[in-house]
Amino acid sequence: MGKFNKAEKSWMMYDWASSAYFLIITTAIFPIFYKATAENAGVNPTNATAYLGYTISISTFILAILGPVLGTLADFKGMKSKFFNFFFIMGTLSTAALLFVPGDNWLLLLIIYTITSLGARGANVFYDAYIVDVTDNERMDEVSAKGFALGYVGSVIPFVLCIALITLSQMEILPLSVSVASRIAFLITVIWWIVFTIPMFKHVRQTHWVEREPRIIYTSFKRLGETFREIRKYRAIFLFLVSYFFYIDGVGTIIAMSTAYGTDLGLSSTELIIALLAVQIVAAPFSVLFGKLANKYGAKKMIYAGIIIYMIVCIYAMFLKTIVDFWVLAMLVASAQGGIQALSRSYFAQMVPKEKSNEFFGFYNIFGRFAAVTGPFLVAVITQLTGSTPLGVFSLVILFLIGLVVLFFVPKTAVTMEPMGTSKTGIDLDK
């Protein structure tokens, strides 16, 4: 990381810090802990799964709706750090609170989990927007990609520790119940998250802003309304968000359903965890590679490459029959997963007016969150109609194809506008 300045390094380290939450809490350990808690309370397993799904949907919807509003407020001078800090504290404190939920109180567990999700994802909205403050357009792709790479590595280290703790408890090598081991895993997540966010607090500052005005809340809603009315004037941003909506939906659906594919092929829980770790490890260097190639060929071309790799994944899924096939599929996903997400973030950041970055990343968040609906629905419908899961996965080609075509029409030069459209600046998006 020698060639990156202190602000860039500190910003990237937050990916290292927060990714532990998304892997340990969101993906791996919390769902298992919740199901055990619901079972202790006598909740029907099917209902328990449905309640978790409703909880995730509610938290996603709340943040998607609030994103642009909070982002508009955070664009005022000195406000970005306040909002980041607020959501960070909300996320870490509520995650710590999971330790103290009684072993049969599944409803309280879901309520606290909702708060953890709002905190973690809310902080990420402002973290993403900070990229315009820590680096310039020429370095943005590489900085964003390196951040994602650090996130993959940073999530694996505490995850391995937590899994080892739970496994040793299950084998009765450690004098701990699995429940206690899971709670310790939550504590490890909180400590990791807090410790590695310290550089962000010390060295990252808001450098682009809108001057604060009287009646700040009224002014924020007024500015948000102006952006809605003028969104068509930001043609590059509008078209990119439409493209992003479709292809990121496909990416998210494949990530979310990968465990189900593995289970259908007969992979055990241990084998699935190993596969998950392998994807995290392989995705890290490929994220860096995508960033370096973006510096040479342009972020847009590398996003094209990521979309095409995912289209190959969807086609290959048609022939998925063995565990070896699953591993080939997993490695293909790992090669593009981090790169396409990192470059989408930096490519978008290069287009948005710097002083309105929070507001626009709020829209970015909306498109990303609501995109999580179409893909799973499409897969479910096709699978149910045909009786074939591979055909359901293949149907995602449609989303990637639409994203690819719309991305083609994103102008080579984005026109960014100062507040109220008083001036325009062209930014070359095809390096």
Residue 285 lies in a domain: yes
Report the range out of 100-104, 187-191, 237-241, 387-391 with the highest average pLDDT. Answer: 187-191
pLDDT of residue 107: 94
Distances (CA, A) of 235 to 242, 300, 385: 11, 16, 38
Highest mean pLDDT out of 41-45, 335-339, 359-363, 409-413: 335-339
Region 407-431: mean pLDDT is 59
Predicted confidence band at 371 (pLDDT cuts at 50, 70, 90)?
Answer: low
387-403 average pLDDT score: 87
Residues 70, 217: contact at Cβ < 8 Å? no
Question: What pLDDT is recorded for position 319?
Answer: 84
Confidence grade of residue 414 (pLDDT, cut at 50, 70, 90): low
Dihedral sign for Cα atoms in the order 334, 335, 340, 346: positive
Quick check: pTM over 0.85? no
Residue 215, Cβ density class (10 Å: 0-12 exposed, 13-18 middle, ≥19 buried): exposed
Q: Are 2 and 138 in contact (CB under 8 A)?
A: no
Q: Is residue 170 part of a domain?
A: yes
Question: Hey, what are 172's tokens?
Answer: 């009765």
> Given this model, what pLDDT does residue 421 score?
41
Mean pLDDT within 344-367:
80
DSSP 210: B
Note the pLDDT of residue 100: 94
pLDDT-wise least confident of 80-94, 180-194, 269-283, 368-382:
368-382
Sign of the torsion angle spanned by Cα atoms 341, 343, 344, 345: positive
The per-residue pLDDT for 221 is: 65
* 163 Cβ contact list (under 8 Å, min separation 6): 28, 273
pLDDT band (50, 70, 90) for residue 69: confident
Q: What residues make up the domain containing 112?
A: 6-205+214-428
Report whether pLDDT(64) > 80.
no
User: Does residue 403 register a pLDDT over 90?
Assistant: yes
pLDDT at 250: 86
pLDDT averaged over every residue in the chain: 84
| CA dihedral sign, ordered 197, 201, 207, 209 | positive
* Lowest model confidence (mean pLDDT) among 40-54, 170-184, 373-387: 373-387
Burial call 318-340: b when 16+ CB within 10 Å, e when fewer: eebeeeeebbebbebbbbbbbbb
354 pLDDT above the threshold of 80:
no
What integer pLDDT is reported at residue 257 of this predicted model? 67
What secondary structure does DSSP assign to 55-100, as a single string?
HHHHHHHHHHHHHHHHHHHHTBTTTHHHHHHHHHHHHHHHHHHGGG
For residues 304 and 86, give the distance between their C-alpha atoms in angstroms, rounded to a whole number. Answer: 36
Q: Using one digit for the tens of pLDDT, what is the confidence trace for 211-253?
A: 666 666 666 666 667 766 666 678 888 899 999 989 998 887 7
Residue 30 lies in a domain: yes
- pLDDT of 360 higher than 70: yes
Number of structural domains found in the chain: 1
Residue 79 covered by a domain: yes
Average pLDDT over residues 324-346: 90
Position 418 scores a pLDDT of 43
Mean pLDDT of 277-294: 90
Residue 112 maps to a domain: yes
Q: How far apart are CA 70 and CA 143, in angstroms?
A: 25
Q: Give residue-wise pLDDT tens across range 201-213.
A: 999 998 876 766 6
Find the mean pLDDT for residues 108-135: 91
| 14 domain residue, yes or no | yes
In a domain, 192, yes or no: yes
Asked whether the predicted pLDDT for residue 420 surpasses 50, the reply is: no
Is residue 383 predicted with pLDDT exceeding 90?
A: no
**Does 132 or 27 have the greater pLDDT score?**
132
Query: What pLDDT is recorded for position 429?
Result: 65
1 located within any domain? no
The domain that holds 306 is classified in CATH as: 1.20.1250.20
Tell me the CA distances in angstroms from 417 to 27, 125, 197, 199, 427, one per residue in order: 39, 21, 33, 32, 11
Q: Going by C-beta distance under 8 Å and a sequence separation of 6 or more, which residues neighbour residue 259?
A: 272
More confident residue, 418 or 63: 63
The answer on pLDDT for 177 being more than 80 is yes
**pLDDT above 70 covers what percent of the chain?**
84
